[in-house]
Amino acid sequence: MPDFTLSPDLVLLQETVRSFAAQELRPRERAAEAARGIDGGVASACETIGLARLELPESLGGAGLGALAGAIVREELGAGDAGAALALDPLGPVLYALRDFGGEDALRAFALPVLEAAGARAILVFDAMPRIHTEGRRAHGTLPWVPADRADLLVVLERERAYVLRDSIACEPVRGTGLRAAGASALRIEGSPVLAEWVSTPCARRTLAHARLHAAALLVGVMRQAAEFSRRYARDRVAFGRPIAHHQALAFLITDMAAAVDAARLLVWEAAWRLDSGLAADEACASAFVECAEASMFVAPNALQILGGHGFMQDHPVEKYLRDARALGLLLGGIDAARDDAERDLLGIAGPVDLGGDDPQGELHAASS
């Protein structure tokens, strides 16, 4: 029977990260933004929870958790401070690229050094354009923005291959729309040696699916927090003799924001469950990213609107949620690249269209047609 219940371990993890986010991240979100980084105390608190090694295989000293665990952790961190969430996760989606293309050897060679160097950051870019070119064994190009102030490792993902860069990458600080706690730079790659290169379309798809889910889960957290903050504000703020939440235009807006957050979360969970169960998941992950990015563009601006002029001022966090959400949705080629993948999946479907959840496509439909 369809069952959304999380295992006791996951509930514990969720609660732990939720209180970490509430106690350590949210109170410092403005300070972290101004400082373009998180303070050492927060980083070491995070270290104790082991957030940086959650999805790393156990053989390499990680917790070996799956995509659902990752999604749950990232929602909570995103609800605390999405920029800090990136800063606290030095490998980020680079983990998926190294793991899926290169296996444990690649993780050992490239991931572990990043985890061991204090403050190091590895960056994954999806470069379908491409903006970075390789010639011989060297890469050249520029990236206008990555949410980091340093790039100790850069993995460039294309539709059919991935390659690893480390040296000759110049970071030029930029202001950044959002996610500033993670930093913000333009990257100039000038003849950077290609340290490893793999060609595999299935691996590229898989990495992209995991990476999209990574960003999508952070977006769920950001929009949940935006919806929640504005909901509480609307209950307290009085205009025309009653709480503004009781004016029906706002009441209905608030219900629709809640529904948008829940729908987005369920799509993320379903996609994560597919990844963890070994079911086809590329389209589900792309669709989850589209949903999260689009829903966050509905929820976050309206959260600001509910606070009126106060929302525009930086005394309240909602303008930051809006900037963070907008920035997250630009990662990995943004909404349109994900839509391309979601949409192309339909080309391969001959009969009824699988809506997900169960695997009726494979089994139920086959049995009846």
Residues that bind other proteins (CB under 8 A): 1-7, 68, 231, 234-235, 243, 245-246, 251-252, 254-256, 258-259, 262-264, 266-267, 269-270, 273, 287, 290-291, 339-340, 342-347, 349-353, 355-360, 363-364, 367-368
Q: In the bound complex, what is the minimum distance in angstroms from residue 3's beta carbon to other proteins?
A: 5
Name the CA dihedral angle for 106, 110, 112, 118, rounded to a multiple of 10 degrees: -170
Instruction: Report the residue number, 44 or 248, with the smaller CB distance to other proteins.
Output: 248
Strands (E), 41-150: 122-126, 132-135, 138-146
d(CA 71, CA 17): 12
In whole angstroms, the minimum distance from the beta carbon of 54 to other proteins comes to 17
Contact 255, 245 (CB under 8 A): no
Whole-number minimum distance, CB 254 to other proteins, in Å?
6
Closest to 196 measured CA to CA, from 149, 137, 148: 137
Minimum separation from the CB atom of position 356 to other proteins (A): 5
- Scored b (16 or more CB within 10 A) or e, 333-358 reads bbbebbbebbeebeeeeeeeebebee
| Complex with other proteins: residue 197 or 359, whichever CB lies closer | 359
What 8-state DSSP symbol labels residue 354?
P
CB 275, CB 210: distance < 8 Å: yes
- Alpha-carbon distances of 182 from 69, 151, 186, 270, 324, rounded to whole Å: 22, 11, 13, 28, 11
Nearer to other proteins, 185 or 287 (CB): 287
Residue 339 Cβ vs other proteins, minimum distance, rounded to whole Å = 6
- Count of C-beta atoms within a 10 Å radius of residue 50: 15
d(CA 117, CA 179): 22
Smaller CB separation from other proteins, 182 or 272: 272
Q: Least Å distance between CB 236 and other proteins?
A: 10
We find the least distance from the C-beta atom of residue 99 to other proteins, in angstroms, to be 22
The smaller minimum CB distance to other proteins, of residues 111 and 332, is found at: 332
Instruction: Round the CA-based radius of gyration of the chain to a whole number and report it.
Output: 21
Q: Closer CB to other proteins, residue 146 or residue 234?
A: 234
Nearer to other proteins, 173 or 357 (CB): 357
Our CB check for other proteins shows the closer of 34 and 364 to be 364
The CB-of-6 to other proteins minimum distance in angstroms stands at 6
Token duo for residue 125: 């870019």
